[in-house]
């Protein structure tokens, strides 16, 4: 089997992958991002490349169509809207999951040929505050850090980053570095305790949005402790006195962090030269996100701890090509290639290079405003590419209604059924990971190739080609006559050369003669170059700018909703949701709640909670845990209307944005929470796919088919009929068993002696082993065995999945621990758990700690 060198399509770590058409997936030992490591999601890539659920032909109003018909329709609708209502009446909403080539072409069509800047992307929900903070401080959007800084640092501060789950390979690099150099210190700043906190020497459980007060306090401490680098700041930094004076007005005790912990943090930061501050969505996704970024950058600038080995601020990017999108200028307030939309010389140079009939002259609509304009009827034609805004934007129900209000909506996606596709007039099938060619840039500015190792399925086409095909039909054929992604990349590099008279950080000259086919992962401007080492920044006077930032007054609603990610799922689950290995780690939409709050609400283990806001409602499974602070809730963003009836968390979030960056505050919003008492609760394992339909329902892929967690408000009169309805199985033999003592009802449906569906329902949440029932689907187990809901004696029940890579369950691990495997390493040797990506290691450690205690109820 020949393996193709490519790059993982998930997070911004940008790991090198060796992939084969038979689904073989290995970490690329030579890729400088991961040196052979992969996380659970990367390792499971082979399970997500099948064609199940793929969109394989263009669809118009749900019916299959030829490309020509679909492309003609898209081009004519966009052209007509522009002719009638002007260029600003149309919009693109793109994604950091597009390849650089796709992104470049989409940006060029909108800004240079349609002549509007109405192209924004999901990076607005992700990196916009970092971009804005960088620009204010450095004069450019530059990420100065490189990954080896993490290994060289003596102190790593993680702010609003759950690196263990969201950038697992970087996390593993830190774990390895800390093992090699135990003196290295890690501090984690997060309102909840996460898997990342488990590595930290100190976890600062900060009040939501307390970050500015915290870093202003640090700046004040640095000034008072004589830790300002006077020589560096005099030569290279403006605005310090004002920034410090403003910082002094903040009260760090507003952070909710104890005086002792504050002192430890401040002293350690002040006394450690080599400090890297990693930050992510706990910083960016806030009403004060840009100010938070600058509060962090201020401390690094004041101490000159930037751009040198082992030190600096480090905004780790979320999506595989978040950086590439920023480079090509794919946001509504950027031009192209780090050129300024507001600069007439820049605009003219780009227009001359593109030989384009138009060039946008003012910033376009940012994501939240863009969908607001859709709601108001201002957008007549919308094209959504490689993103799922009906799920991922705040006020997702409002956004879905806004999309439905647009007269003509096009999507390009790889999957057929998504919440956004359900609202589109035309769906265009794109080639996905493994089928397409192009480049991506990771968090450390390293450009790597994605390479195809599979044929394009059905009628699917690469995104750059789809956009070019439409551009051609809109009359711009000459400027979009690309034959290959290499043509696009070459033009992108040439635009950089053609505009080199405008000094800026982006410099692609190293790629001028690149061998695209064999391109090795390379950083711009050069490998291992750290920006700002020489104290040169990109404001007109060459200096950096410290920004005075004021801590906001903190809201104190009864409940504040925090949102984010799970270890084994990717965003709206269109791909990771296909992997049975990734499903079981956390198989339903849940909400973390503090034990005291749970007690106040009368919530016990397994209960459902109804969360409400001004914008909507969600029903989520209670996960009672002291990891979350009292008064706060945390729910993952992943579940959609395809997989749940009421688990879409952005139904709750508010479209409130940071005034500088336009990034929505997805991490904190006032909500009301109450226990949701259903009349009955159920669990269903089935051989076939199901549709969520009860008031609470969450479906997930399993090793033997599908599972559903359900709950209803009306007792069914006939449980067999209910089981048939939920499983979609109207035929086959049904066996029913009801236990009046416990109220537990069990139904088994079999076909020709093979178990096809197992259903368990009870007046209270059903406590039973899910894996055991799932394992019985597709077997010829006697109905009575199947109905027992327990694994047969010869097949021990593995318990809930802990290690996603090797599918090792909790019971298997506890069993190994009882037989003497008492360390994470020993557990790994006994069961393989944790030996691939290692992101379950914190859970293994927790399980070992817990194994010494009496076992919990489940
Ligand atoms: N498994 C997995 N990995 C992913 C993704 C995925 O979907 N799944 N998505 C990728 C993408 S696009 C992104 S952007 C990244 C995101 O990566 P992260 O930003 O690390 O992930 P999140 O879970 O969104 O949020 C991080 C933490 O911010 C904390 N937080 C909330 N409010 C505050 C606050 O006010 N202050 C501070 N200091 N912290 C706060 C939350 O409690 C949470 O633990 O992950 C990438 N990697
Ligand atoms: N509450 C809350 N909401 C959030 C966040 C949060 O922390 N909390 N985080 C935000 C952040 S940081 C992000 S990045 C967004 C992510 O949110 P989205 O971008 O909406 O989520 P994805 O599921 O990644 O959507 C990608 C879509 O592209 C499709 N796709 C995959 N590959 C290709 C391809 O090659 N071509 C095309 N055309 N399509 C493809 C997938 O099937 C999927 O439908 O969510 C944001 N929303
Ligand atoms: S850390 Fe995991 S998800 Fe991120 S690029 Fe590497 S393998 Fe992919
Ligand atoms: Mo993101």
DSSP string spanning 753-812? TEEEEEEEEESS---S-HHHHHHHTTS---HHHHHHTS--TTS----SEEETTTTEEHHH
Best residue for ligand 2 mutational test, from 280, 322, 574 (most atoms within 8 Å of Cβ): 574
Average pLDDT over residues 247-273: 97
Q: Count of CB atoms within 10 A of residue 626's CB?
A: 12
Average pLDDT over residues 752-759: 95
Of 429, 415, 423, 357, nearest in space to 393 by CA: 423
CA angle 524, 513, 315 (to 5 degrees): 15
Spacing, Cα 51 to ligand 3 middle (Å): 22
Average pLDDT over residues 691-720: 94
Helix axes 289-302, 128-138, angle to 10 degrees: 40
| Pairwise CA distance, residues 260 & 546, whole Å | 28
Say which ligand is closest to the CA of 19. 3
Classify domain 801-850 by CATH architecture.
Answer: Orthogonal Bundle (1.10)
Nearest CA to ligand 1 atom 24: 564
| Pairwise CA distance, residues 100 & 107, whole Å | 10
**Position 85 pLDDT exceeds 60:** yes
CATH 3.40.50.1220 fits 59-123+321-523, yes or no: no
pLDDT digits (tens, 9 = 90+) for 612-632: 999 999 999 998 889 999 999
Give me the percent of the chain exceeding a pLDDT of 90: 84
| Pairwise CA distance, residues 225 & 753, whole Å | 77
Nearest CA to ligand 2 atom 3: 392
- Maximum pairwise Cα distance, the chain: 83
Q: What is the DSSP string of 651-671?
A: GT----B-TTT--B-TT--EE
Best residue for ligand 3 mutational test, from 6, 7, 9, 11 (most atoms within 8 Å of Cβ): 11
In three-state secondary structure terms, 46 is: helix
Q: Terminal CA-to-CA distance of the chain, rounded, Å? A: 44
Spacing, Cα 340 to ligand 2 middle (Å): 27
Ligand 1 neighbours, Cβ below 6 Å, are 11, 41, 126, 159-162, 165-166, 189-192, 194, 206, 208-209, 211, 280-282, 286, 318-319, 562, 564-565, 567, 569-571, 667
Spacing, Cα 412 to ligand 2 middle (Å): 13
Please identify, by atom number, the ligand 2 atom nearest to the C-alpha of residue 650: 1
589 lines ligand 2 (CB under 6 A): no
Best residue for ligand 3 mutational test, from 15, 43, 567, 839 (most atoms within 8 Å of Cβ): 15
Token pair 């997500």 in the structure block, residue: 48
Least trusted range by pLDDT, from 106-115, 520-529, 660-669: 520-529
563 lines ligand 2 (CB under 6 A): yes
Please state, in angstroms and as integers, the Cα–Cα distance from residue 487 to each residue in 114, 156, 482, 818, following that order: 21, 41, 6, 60
| Pairwise CA distance, residues 401 & 112, whole Å | 30
Spacing, Cα 388 to ligand 2 middle (Å): 5
CB 386, CB 9: distance < 8 Å = no
Of 111, 47, 105, 113, nearest in space to 79 by CA: 113
Burial pattern 657-678, b for ≥16 Cβ within 10 A else e, equals bbebbbbbbbbbbebebeebeb
CB 391, CB 572: distance < 8 Å = yes
Q: Which two tokens stand for residue 595?
A: 């034990």
pLDDT digits (tens, 9 = 90+) for 145-185: 999 999 999 999 999 999 999 999 999 999 999 999 999 99
**Position 657 pLDDT exceeds 70:** yes
Nearest CA to ligand 1 atom 18: 161
Q: What is the DSSP string of 187-238?
A: EEE-SS--TTGGG-SEEE-PPTT-HHHHHHHHHHHHHHTT---HHHHHHHEE
Average pLDDT over residues 243-265: 97
pLDDT digits (tens, 9 = 90+) for 478-488: 999 999 999 99
Please state, in angstroms and as integers, the Cα–Cα distance from residue 34 to each residue in 52, 442, 473, 631, 732, following that order: 29, 12, 42, 39, 50
The band of 296, judged by pLDDT with boundaries at 50, 70 and 90, is very high
pLDDT at residue 831, as a whole number = 86
318 lines ligand 2 (CB under 6 A): yes
414 lines ligand 2 (CB under 6 A): yes
The band of 751, judged by pLDDT with boundaries at 50, 70 and 90, is very high
319 lines ligand 2 (CB under 6 A): yes
Spacing, Cα 391 to ligand 2 middle (Å): 9
pLDDT at residue 826, as a whole number = 87
Nearest CA to ligand 3 atom 4: 11
pLDDT at residue 793, as a whole number = 53
The band of 344, judged by pLDDT with boundaries at 50, 70 and 90, is very high
Residue 15's H or E segment, with its range, is: none
Q: Which two tokens stand for residue 538?
A: 């990109």
Spacing, Cα 577 to ligand 3 middle (Å): 16
Helix, strand, coil fractions of the chain, as percent rounded to 5: 35, 20, 45
Average pLDDT over residues 795-820: 78
Spacing, Cα 797 to ligand 2 middle (Å): 35
Say which ligand is closest to the CA of 289. 1
Nearest CA to ligand 1 atom 8: 570
**Position 854 pLDDT exceeds 50:** no
Question: What ranges do the domains of the chain cover?
Answer: 4-47, 59-123+321-523, 127-315, 559-676, 680-786, 801-850
Spacing, Cα 127 to ligand 4 middle (Å): 7
Spacing, Cα 23 to ligand 2 middle (Å): 23
Least trusted range by pLDDT, from 153-167, 323-337, 572-586, 772-786: 572-586
**Which residues on adjacent β-strands are paired with residue 632?**
560
**Which residues on adjacent β-strands are paired with residue 739?**
744
| Pairwise CA distance, residues 699 & 165, whole Å | 22
Q: What is the DSSP string of 624-658?
A: E-TTSPTTEEEEES---TTTBSS--GGGT----B-
Average pLDDT over residues 287-312: 97
CA angle 159, 162, 168 (to 5 degrees): 125
CB 844, CB 824: distance < 8 Å = yes
For the domain bounded by 559-676, which CATH number is listed? Answer: 2.40.40.20
572 lines ligand 2 (CB under 6 A): yes
pLDDT at residue 528, as a whole number = 82
Nearest CA to ligand 3 atom 2: 39
Question: At the fourth CATH level, which superfamily is domain 127-315?
Answer: Dimethylsulfoxide Reductase, domain 2 (3.40.228.10)
Spacing, Cα 443 to ligand 1 middle (Å): 15
Least trusted range by pLDDT, from 85-89, 313-317, 565-569, 757-761: 565-569
**The 312-315 sheet, strands edge to edge:** 202-204, 185-189, 155-159, 275-279, 312-315
Nearest CA to ligand 3 atom 6: 15
Q: Which two tokens stand for residue 793?
A: 């004696």
CA angle 458, 464, 465 (to 5 degrees): 55
pLDDT at residue 855, as a whole number = 32
Nearest CA to ligand 1 atom 16: 318
CA atoms within 13 A on the CB side of 112: 26
412 lines ligand 2 (CB under 6 A): yes
Token pair 């809201």 in the structure block, residue: 555
Say which ligand is closest to the CA of 147. 3
Best residue for ligand 2 mutational test, from 281, 386, 573 (most atoms within 8 Å of Cβ): 386
Please identify, by atom number, the ligand 1 atom nearest to the C-alpha of residue 189: 38
**Position 858 pLDDT exceeds 80:** no
Helix axes 367-375, 396-404, angle to 10 degrees: 50
| Pairwise CA distance, residues 539 & 534, whole Å | 14
Best residue for ligand 1 mutational test, from 14, 130, 160, 290 (most atoms within 8 Å of Cβ): 160
Say which ligand is closest to the CA of 9. 3
pLDDT digits (tens, 9 = 90+) for 185-238: 999 999 999 999 989 999 999 999 999 999 999 999 999 999 999 999 999 999
Strands 59-60 and 426-429: antiparallel
Best residue for ligand 2 mutational test, from 8, 122, 640, 671 (most atoms within 8 Å of Cβ): 122
CA angle 214, 207, 655 (to 5 degrees): 105
Spacing, Cα 280 to ligand 1 middle (Å): 6
| Pairwise CA distance, residues 427 & 413, whole Å | 7
Please identify, by atom number, the ligand 2 atom nearest to the C-alpha of residue 436: 35
Determine the topology of domain 4-47 in CATH: N-terminal domain of TfIIb (2.20.25)
Spacing, Cα 594 to ligand 3 middle (Å): 31
839 lines ligand 2 (CB under 6 A): no
Best residue for ligand 1 mutational test, from 193, 206, 576, 667 (most atoms within 8 Å of Cβ): 667
Best residue for ligand 3 mutational test, from 16, 28, 34 (most atoms within 8 Å of Cβ): 34
Give me the percent of the chain exceeding a pLDDT of 70: 98
């Amino acid at each position: 089997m020949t393996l193709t060198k490519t790059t993982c399509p998930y997070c911004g770590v940008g790991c090198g992958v060796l992939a084969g058409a038979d689904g073989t997936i290995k970490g690329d030992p030579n890729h400088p991002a991961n040196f052979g490591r992969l996380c659970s999601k990367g390792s499971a890539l082979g399970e997500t490349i099948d064609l199940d659920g793929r969109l394989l032909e263009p669809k118009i109003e749900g019916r299959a169509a030829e490309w020509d018909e679909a492309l003609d329709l898209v081009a004519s609708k966009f052209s007509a809207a522009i002719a009638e209502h002007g260029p600003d009446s149309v919009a693109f909403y793109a994604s950091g999951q597009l390849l650089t080539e796709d992104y470049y072409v989409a940006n060029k069509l909108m800004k240079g040929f349609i002549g509007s800047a109405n192209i924004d992307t999901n990076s607005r929900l992700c990196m916009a505050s970092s971009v804005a903070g960088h620009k204010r401080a450095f004069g450019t959007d530059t990420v100065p850090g490189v990954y080896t800084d993490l290994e060289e640092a003596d102190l790593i501060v993680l702010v609003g980053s759950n690196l263990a789950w969201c950038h697992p390979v970087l996390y593993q690099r830190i774990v390895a570095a800390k093992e090699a150099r135990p003196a290295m210190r890690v501090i984690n700043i997060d309102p909840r305790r996460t898997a990342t906190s488990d590595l930290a020497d100190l976890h600062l459980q900060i009040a939501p949005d307390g970050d500015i007060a915290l870093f202003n306090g640090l700046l004040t401490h640095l000034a008072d402790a004589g830790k300002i680098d006077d020589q560096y700041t005099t030569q290279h930094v403006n605005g310090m006195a004002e920034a410090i004076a403003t910082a002094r007005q903040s009260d760090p005790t507003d952070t909710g962090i104890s005086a002792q912990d504050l002192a430890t943090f401040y002293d350690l930061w002040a006394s450690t030269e080599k400090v890297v501050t990693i930050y992510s969505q706990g910083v960016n996704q806030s009403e004060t996100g840009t100010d938070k970024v600058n509060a962090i950058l201020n401390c690094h600038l004041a101490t000159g701890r930037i751009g040198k080995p082992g030190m600096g601020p480090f905004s780790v990017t979320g999506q595989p090509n978040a950086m590439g999108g920023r480079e090509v200028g794919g946001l509504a307030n950027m031009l192209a290639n780090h050129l300024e939309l507001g600069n007439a010389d820049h605009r003219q140079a780009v227009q001359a290079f593109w030989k384009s009939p138009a060039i946008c002259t003012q910033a376009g609509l940012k994501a939240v405003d863009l969908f607001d304009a859709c709601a108001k009827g201002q957008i007549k034609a919308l094209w959504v590419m490689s993103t799922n805004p009906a799920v991922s934007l705040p006020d997702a129900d409002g956004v879905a209604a806004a999309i439905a209000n647009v007269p003509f909506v096009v999507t390009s996606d790889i999957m057929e059924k998504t919440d956004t596709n359900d609202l589109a007039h035309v769906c265009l099938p794109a080639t996905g990971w493994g089928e397409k060619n192009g480049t991506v840039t990771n968090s450390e500015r390293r450009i790597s190739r994605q390479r195809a190792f599979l044929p394009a399925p059905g009628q699917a086409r690469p995104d750059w080609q789809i956009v070019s095909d439409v551009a051609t039909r809109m009359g711009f054929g000459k400027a979009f006559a690309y034959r290959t992604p290499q043509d696009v990349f070459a033009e992108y590099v040439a635009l950089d050369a053609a505009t080199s008279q405008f000094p800026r950080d982006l410099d692609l000259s190293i790629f001028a003669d690149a061998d695209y086919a064999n391109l090795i992962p390379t950083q711009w401007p050069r490998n291992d170059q750290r920006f700002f080492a020489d104290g040169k920044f990109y404001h007109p006077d060459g200096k950096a700018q410290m920004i005075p930032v004021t801590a906001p007054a903190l809201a104190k609603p009864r409940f504040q909703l925090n949102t984010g990610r799970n270890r084994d799922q990717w965003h709206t689950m269109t791909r990771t949701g296909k992997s049975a290995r990734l499903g079981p780690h956390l198989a339903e939409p849940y909400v973390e709640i503090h034990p005291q709050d749970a007690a106040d609400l009368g919530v016990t283990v397994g209960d459902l909670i109804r969360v409400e806001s001004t914008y909507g409602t969600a029903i989520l499974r209670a996960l009672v845990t002291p990891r979350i602070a009292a008064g706060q809730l945390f729910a993952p963003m992943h579940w959609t209307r395809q997989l749940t009836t009421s688990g879409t968390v952005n139904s709750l979030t508010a479209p409130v944005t940071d005034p500088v960056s336009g990034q929505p505050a997805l991490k904190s919003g006032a909500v009301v929470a109450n226990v949701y008492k259903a009349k009955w609760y159920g669990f269903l394992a089935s051989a076939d796919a199901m549709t969520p339909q009860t008031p609470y329902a969450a479906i997930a892929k399993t090793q033997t088919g599908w599972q559903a967690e359900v709950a209803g408000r009306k007792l069914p009169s006939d449980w067999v009929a209910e089981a048939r309805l939920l499983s979609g199985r109207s035929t086959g033999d049904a066996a029913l068993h009801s236990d009046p003592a416990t109220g537990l009802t069990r139904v088994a449906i079999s076909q020709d002696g093979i178990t096809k569906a197992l259903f368990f329902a009870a007046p209270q949440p059903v406590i039973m082993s899910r894996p055991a029932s799932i394992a019985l689907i597709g077997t010829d187990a006697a109905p009575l065995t199947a109905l027992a809901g327990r694994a047969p004696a010869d097949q021990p029940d593995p318990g809930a999945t802990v290690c996603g890579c090797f599918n090792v369950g909790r019971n298997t691990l506890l069993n190994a621990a009882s037989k003497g495997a008492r360390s994470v390493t020993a557990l790994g040797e006994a069961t393989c758990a944790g030996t691939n990506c290692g992101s379950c290691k914190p859970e293994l450690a927790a399980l070992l700690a817990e194994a010494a205690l009496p076992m919990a109820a489940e």
